[in-house]
Structure 1
């Protein structure tokens, strides 16, 4: 990666931080604290949230019938997701130890905090739990696969991809064979950090 590209990536990272700060400012009117992993709201805020919670009977009445009928298929996906989660655990315990990769922390990707929102009824909270687990799992899979790819095949694709894991920008350019083996050794060291 040349200096100009590295510089641009650093600028993008700085802009992402600025964006996160701006979003935090915009959301600062929402009063909550995080203590020991638990989110707490002031009593008045939580009371106001509960006033905006939709009653279960009204909620069921407003849900389209096809949505209710399709929900078993959606929730059945939890079975392969849990199996994948278990396989990822075993994969990291075995493969990451053999290759001395730094472990990917599952808790960095599995964030469950929607249950603290007073304006969600029990079914909405359950839906949020499912989505948080499933989407967190997919990000976790991507991080593990990305760290593995960093070691075995850190080469960008010729075609542009829609989304990429955190290591992709540091990969070698497609078709750049010059000093490939030396560059590969350097990149492999980063998978172990």
Structure 2
């Protein structure tokens, strides 16, 4: 008998598949395809994109002063993000093999491709590089921490978090001591690269 939780999980998977199909249709409408992991536009589409690109001087001239003044604050965060990236890479390289946890692949989370869009000027491309890196890094760190949590403490909280990570639904119920004792090994084994 399928539990309500399992039915909901299947519904989420079905929804993800539907989103993927919709994105494939949009890709077709926008006339690009993926070749060797990169988006490739038809030449006439690329030319049309270049034609509507906002030139850099006009882009800067029309920016609000407050936006320009906050840019250094935004970009100053690159240093702590790079340090976070370095520390998480070391953590994963040292700890995950000891725990038998499969490593998180960077390329699955850090996607940097928007700088190739011909309708973006140089500064917009730089912004997209920054956002792609930082948001991808946060997703990578979240997955590393989720796997760590699944290994050490795969228990749901008494109060639901606002946006739990993808592994959270597999965690054990808060207060279910018997399930924790009987299922924690299976949850750890699920993290192994050879599973």
Maintained 8 Å contact 2:27/2:33: no
Q: Which residue does 1:26 correspond to in 2?
A: 26
C-alpha separation between the residues in 1 aligned to 2:66 and 2:73?
12
C-alpha separation between the residues in 2 aligned to 1:25 and 1:162?
31
* Moved beyond 4 Å, runs of 4+: none
What's the CA shift for 1:136? 0.2
Q: Which structure 1 residue ranges, 5 or more long, are not aligned?
A: none
Q: Which residue does 1:6 correspond to in 2?
A: 6
What's the CA shift for 1:96? 0.3
Give 1:122-137 correspondences, 5 Å limit: 122-137=122-137
C-alpha separation between the residues in 2 aligned to 1:11 and 1:86?
37
Per mean C-alpha deviation after superposition, the further-off stretch among 28-37 and 49-58 is 28-37
What's the CA shift for 1:185? 1.3
Q: Which residue does 1:41 correspond to in 2?
A: 41
C-alpha separation between the residues in 1 aligned to 2:25 and 2:176?
43
What's the CA shift for 1:159? 1.4
Higher relative contact order (CA 8 A, sep 6+): 1
Q: Which residue does 2:145 correspond to in 1?
A: 145
Q: Which residue does 1:62 correspond to in 2?
A: 62
Q: Which residue does 2:119 correspond to in 1?
A: 119
Q: Which structure 2 residue ranges, 5 or more long, are not aligned?
A: none
Give the TM-score taking structure 2 as reference length.
0.93
How many residues are treated as equivalent by the alignment?
Answer: 192
C-alpha separation between the residues in 2 aligned to 1:64 and 1:42?
35
What's the CA shift for 1:121? 0.3
Give 1:164-179 correspondences, 5 Å limit: 164-179=164-179
Maintained 8 Å contact 2:50/2:119: yes
- What do the CA deviations read for 1:38-85 (whole angstroms, capped 9, x no partner)? 322111111000111001111011111111111111001000000111
Q: Which residue does 1:80 correspond to in 2?
A: 80
- What do the CA deviations read for 1:104-129 (whole angstroms, capped 9, x no partner)? 00110010110121100000000000
What's the CA shift for 1:177? 1.7
C-alpha separation between the residues in 2 aligned to 1:6 and 1:37?
33
Per mean C-alpha deviation after superposition, the further-off stretch among 6-15 and 165-174 is 6-15
C-alpha separation between the residues in 2 aligned to 1:160 and 1:23?
30
